[in-house]
Structure 1
Amino acid sequence: MIKTINPEHQYIVKKSLLLFLFILLTCVKTHAQSQKDLSGLKSRVAENSRLFNTNINKAYFDLDGLIKESRKLKDSLSEMKLLERKCRYFYNKNQIDSLIIASERLQKVSGNYDSKYYGAMADVYLAEIYSVNKFYDKAIFHLNNAYTTLQQDKSESKKIFYAKANVLSSFANVYMDKNEPGNAVKKLKEEIRSGSELKDRNEFASFQYLNYSNISNAYMPYNVDSAYYFARKSIEIKPADISDDKSMINNYIVIGQYYEHRKDYEKAVKNFHKALKIGKRTGIELNINSIYTSLQEIYLRKNQKDSFNFYENKAKQYDLQMLQSKYNSLQEVISKDKEELNLSSDRTPLLLVILLVMVSGTFAFLFFRISKKNKAERLNADKEIPEPQMKRNLRETYKNLISFLENNDPGFMFAFESVFPEFSEKLLKINPDLQQSEIEFCALLKLKLTTKEIAKYTFIETRTVQNKKYRLRKKLEIPQQTDIYHWIDSI
């Protein structure tokens, strides 16, 4: 007997089949969209990495948004990459208190995803924090932990190789903080020897460019000739595709200190300002205060009071910022140490209390010195500045900048951009192809120097000055009927 299909059942089957197909298509579409979103995220993470190598300040502003997106898309690798990049930002900016929070976050997330590499990197940053606060045993503990973790990875990948190299560099940093440069040199020589594993010539050059820069810094306290040799060697082997970074800043600092030691102050100042220029462009502030200190000493010896005062104030401001950061980080370190040892507040080790009091006292003393000197300015910060006083301040600023020009001081642009911080950036937005020399010429116009004055300070003919003005008009598209000084002054 032939059974016929109930029309009602047939309808239900068709409806179920259509619903199944709809759900399947929706899943496929959702998956495709998710993959597209994931691909877009990875592309932006890579773009942020490239930007980080040229301007860490601009790259940093995008980090939190990218981290949030990576969590939403469950991209654990991108999340850890970005968290490590955040740690690197605070390290390069010498913001130790913020570095503690970022490195502990990286440590927690890497543990959740069982990532040996990023777990080791978190240990490296924690070691730097402990070392800066003079807890050297804790720093060594974290570095040994990082190296042991990396040894467990048997993949022999390049990533693990570079992570091990980072650990050796951090060991050297701890020895430098302990004032044991000889031991730092030994660790860095070990790292340099490990480079024999790299067979690609460009990769080998990139690796040793960094190592030679680091070892030059380690040699500086006791062997200036070796320090100079390795700084020069680092510059010589630097691959052309690598942007100037903290290693190049360090090279110029070492070379500047070498010439300062030889009392060749002109060459010393030029190299220090090369380092400052890279630091300003990239946003890296690591070791910048050693430049301010050296420039103070040089200008004191040369009896150039205006320049000496300028860098003395810069150094004090930076010291205050660093002490604030170290003070905050020391409190965090003590708190963390107490938790690990399960101690109550009244049983805090005496050494930790002494250290906290010392840093607090130093911070208070420096703050008092700076605040006393600038008390009048701060008291007037919320008041309307009388017009005669504003004019006096402008005249004083103008006088200080002119003194840099009169002394043919290469620090002129650094001083100028401290007064007009957005000037160069605004010009480059109008024409990104402007050369540095053209920006510096615009700075002279901003100060309303006449053609004859510009010729005098830059040692060129008045006709050359006029030609430069003409070329700038074309590059910046300044209308002929518009006064160039008025146009530049509006920037």
Structure 2
Amino acid sequence: MIEKAVRPVFFFSLFFYSLIFSQSKGTNKEFKDKVTSNSQLFNTNIDKAYLQINQLIKESRVLKDSLSEMKLLEKKCRYFYNKNQVDSLIIASEQLQKASKEYNNVYYEAMGNIYIAETYSVNKFYDKAILHLNNAYEILQKDQSKSKKIFYAKANVLSSFANVYLDKNEPKNAAKKILEEIKSGIELKNPKEFANFQYLNYSNISNIYAQYNLDSAYYYAQKSIEIKPADISEDKSMIDNFTVIGQYYKNQKDYKNSIKNFHEALKISKRIGIELNINNIHKSLREIYQLTNQKDSADFYENKIKQYDLQMLQSKYNSLQEVISKDKQEQNKSSNRNLFLLGISSVLAIAASLFLYFKFKKKKNVEINQNLQETYNQLIELIKNNDPSFMFAFENVFPEFSGKLLKLNPELQQSEIEFCALLKLKLTTKEIAKYTFIETRTVQNKKYRLRKKFEIPQSIDIYNWIDGI
């Protein structure tokens, strides 16, 4: 079984490009040294480096060192990106965008748009993500200096486009974007810079190929390792390379070599603190240990998966609130003409959807009925067992449910969304009370509060209303 492709990493996530950035000569040298030291630490232990960043940002503002301030704000974005903390990423990326506009810096303004695009894409606002990526590219086009940092920023835009395509489950389109980057490397005349650039590109393309062509994925992962510059410590790209090679051997049923490479990836991840896509490794190891009847090891990684899923669900929920709030603000700024066109597009889309819905309704109903009861029973079993992974499983079955609720009321609490999920499954008041260990009166009160929050008339059955979400 081929694992789902993972998200490529930005090129400027590594310290070996930091020399491209120059700071003003008048800036305090001691402070510049601290920022440089933090950059070096960020490449080897991002958790320790992150602990220094807020204080360094304060110092940069006191010294009026705008370049250092933006560089440090971008590091915050990079930290949250690598830690998969999407809720914090959207806040940090907006801070970066605001500062870059204030200081009129096209590079960091573009990077702010790229990170914001990532948060939109994760939450399935793909059109918004593409809009911000196009904004980033237009901003970079204004710079006519042809500097290296603008070149790498444009590469970052392509990487983020690849991420959007991966989120949309279009790996072949994602691969095209990375292949564009590989081709663009011809602009780099310095052999070391070229090797640095393609080392990351080959790692990225191997991750994407891992979704549909493991032989090509293995080839590029090995190629990335071969050209890895000697002065670069093991990093995110090496985690990805070992992961892809582990997947390749797993597919070959060479479990010994597969486990060896997965553990190598985990070792680097633990040492440098990067957790992006780490759960793919946990799932592969769990599967291998299940296949080889090593129950204790399989259970160990099962628990790791559940812990990670719960963490990601919380982060996704928080980020979804931020994204929806930001989306509403942007919509309020739109002109009446844009709103009119949006309305017309929506009407046409709804009309087309209704046509397709009624055309294929009979066929869909047959397919749904075959799986609905089994899925329902599995979710109910998780509720009965008080399993913390219930909401994660529910989100997989109803991926748009939380987002639709939050659009109706962005102030909704996660506990209220979870209660709505129980109503979506049509659990009665007594069943909810029994499975969640609360009084029936408490369940009734929760229903009443939901009616008020969503302004559901008493004449409408709350289960029917929820079922329409």
Q: Residues 8-407 of structure 1 correspond to what in structure 2 (within 5 A)?
A: 38-342=28-332, 354-356=401-403, 364=418
Q: Distance in 1 between matches of 2:235 and 2:402?
A: 34
Q: What amino acid is aligned across from residue 129 of structure 2 in structure 1?
A: A
Q: Distance in 2 between matches of 1:167 and 1:266?
A: 38
Q: What amino acid is aligned across from residue 232 of structure 1 in structure 2?
A: Q
Q: Secondary structure at the match of 1:134?
A: coil
Q: What amino acid is aligned across from residue 115 of structure 1 in structure 2?
A: N
Q: Distance in 1 between matches of 2:416 and 2:260?
A: 32
Q: Distance in 2 between matches of 1:132 and 1:90?
A: 13
| Mapped contact 1:320–1:363 kept (Cα < 8 A) | no
User: Deviation of residue 340 (structure 1)?
Assistant: 1.1
Kindly tell me: are residues 253 and 154 of structure 1, through their superposed partners in 2, closer, same or farther at Cα, counting changes over 3 Å?
Answer: same
User: Deviation of residue 37 (structure 1)?
Assistant: 6.9
User: Deviation of residue 75 (structure 1)?
Assistant: 0.4
Q: Secondary structure at the match of 2:44?
A: coil
Q: What amino acid is aligned across from residue 134 of structure 2 in structure 1?
A: N
User: Deviation of residue 356 (structure 1)?
Assistant: 2.1
Partner in structure 2 of residue 460 of structure 1: none
Kindly tell me: are residues 189 and 326 of structure 1, through their superposed partners in 2, closer, same or farther at Cα, counting changes over 3 Å?
Answer: same
User: Deviation of residue 362 (structure 1)?
Assistant: 12
Q: What amino acid is aligned across from residue 68 of structure 1 in structure 2?
A: K
Deviation digits for residues 12-68 of structure 1 (CA, Å, limit 9, x no counterpart):
xxxxxxxxxxxxxxxxxxxxxx98871111111011001100000010010000000
| Mapped contact 1:334–1:352 kept (Cα < 8 A) | no
Deviation digits for residues 213-234 of structure 1 (CA, Å, limit 9, x no counterpart):
0000111111110000000000
| Mapped contact 2:221–2:244 kept (Cα < 8 A) | yes
Kindly tell me: are residues 35 and 194 of structure 1, through their superposed partners in 2, closer, same or farther at Cα, counting changes over 3 Å?
Answer: closer
Q: What amino acid is aligned across from residue 222 of structure 1 in structure 2?
A: Y
Question: Mind listing any 5+ residue stretches in structure 2 that lack a counterpart?
Answer: 1-23, 334-345, 351-397, 407-413, 423-435, 437-469
Deviation digits for residues 289-327 of structure 1 (CA, Å, limit 9, x no counterpart):
000000110000001000000000001000000110000
Q: What amino acid is aligned across from residue 140 of structure 2 in structure 1?
A: L
Q: What amino acid is aligned across from residue 323 of structure 2 in structure 1?
A: V
Q: Secondary structure at the match of 1:263?
A: coil
Q: Distance in 2 between matches of 1:193 and 1:97?
A: 34
| Mapped contact 1:181–1:218 kept (Cα < 8 A) | yes
Q: Secondary structure at the match of 1:53?
A: helix
Q: What amino acid is aligned across from residue 403 of structure 2 in structure 1?
A: L
TM-score by length of 2: 0.67
TM-score by length of 1: 0.64
Q: Distance in 1 between matches of 2:307 and 2:416?
A: 14
Kindly tell me: are residues 358 and 211 of structure 1, through their superposed partners in 2, closer, same or farther at Cα, counting changes over 3 Å?
Answer: farther
| Mapped contact 1:323–1:363 kept (Cα < 8 A) | no
Question: Mind listing any 5+ residue stretches in structure 1 that lack a counterpart?
Answer: 1-33, 344-348, 369-374, 376-491
Kindly tell me: are residues 231 and 112 of structure 1, through their superposed partners in 2, closer, same or farther at Cα, counting changes over 3 Å?
Answer: same
Kindly tell me: are residues 303 and 272 of structure 1, through their superposed partners in 2, closer, same or farther at Cα, counting changes over 3 Å?
Answer: same
Kindly tell me: are residues 215 and 363 of structure 1, through their superposed partners in 2, closer, same or farther at Cα, counting changes over 3 Å?
Answer: farther
| Mapped contact 1:212–1:231 kept (Cα < 8 A) | yes
User: Deviation of residue 361 (structure 1)?
Assistant: 9.2
Q: Distance in 2 between matches of 1:219 and 1:234?
A: 14
Q: What amino acid is aligned across from residue 111 of structure 2 in structure 1?
A: M
| Mapped contact 1:324–1:363 kept (Cα < 8 A) | no
| Identity within the alignment, % | 69
Q: Distance in 2 between matches of 1:262 and 1:362?
A: 46
| Mapped contact 1:127–1:140 kept (Cα < 8 A) | yes
Partner in structure 2 of residue 410 of structure 1: none
Deviation digits for residues 255-288 of structure 1 (CA, Å, limit 9, x no counterpart):
1111111111111110000000000000000010
Q: Secondary structure at the match of 1:342?
A: helix
| Mapped contact 2:27–2:65 kept (Cα < 8 A) | no
Kindly tell me: are residues 79 and 354 of structure 1, through their superposed partners in 2, closer, same or farther at Cα, counting changes over 3 Å?
Answer: same
Kindly tell me: are residues 157 and 362 of structure 1, through their superposed partners in 2, closer, same or farther at Cα, counting changes over 3 Å?
Answer: farther
Deviation digits for residues 140-172 of structure 1 (CA, Å, limit 9, x no counterpart):
111111011111100000010010011111111
If asked which structure has higher relative contact order (CA below 8 Å, sep 6+), I would say 2
Q: Distance in 2 between matches of 1:288 and 1:198?
A: 32
Q: What amino acid is aligned across from residue 293 of structure 2 in structure 1?
A: N
User: Deviation of residue 203 (structure 1)?
Assistant: 0.8
Q: What amino acid is aligned across from residue 173 of structure 1 in structure 2?
A: N
CA RMSD of aligned residues (A): 2.9
Q: Distance in 2 between matches of 1:53 and 1:207?
A: 16
User: Deviation of residue 189 (structure 1)?
Assistant: 0.5
Q: Distance in 2 between matches of 1:260 and 1:40?
A: 50
User: Deviation of residue 364 (structure 1)?
Assistant: 4.4
User: Deviation of residue 342 (structure 1)?
Assistant: 2.0
Deviation digits for residues 68-97 of structure 1 (CA, Å, limit 9, x no counterpart):
000001000000000001100000000000
| Mapped contact 2:402–2:417 kept (Cα < 8 A) | no
Larger-Rg structure: 1
Q: Distance in 1 between matches of 2:229 and 2:260?
A: 23
Kindly tell me: are residues 79 and 274 of structure 1, through their superposed partners in 2, closer, same or farther at Cα, counting changes over 3 Å?
Answer: same
Q: Distance in 1 between matches of 2:39 and 2:271?
A: 16
Partner in structure 1 of residue 8 of structure 2: none
Kindly tell me: are residues 180 and 362 of structure 1, through their superposed partners in 2, closer, same or farther at Cα, counting changes over 3 Å?
Answer: farther
Q: What amino acid is aligned across from residue 356 of structure 1 in structure 2?
A: G
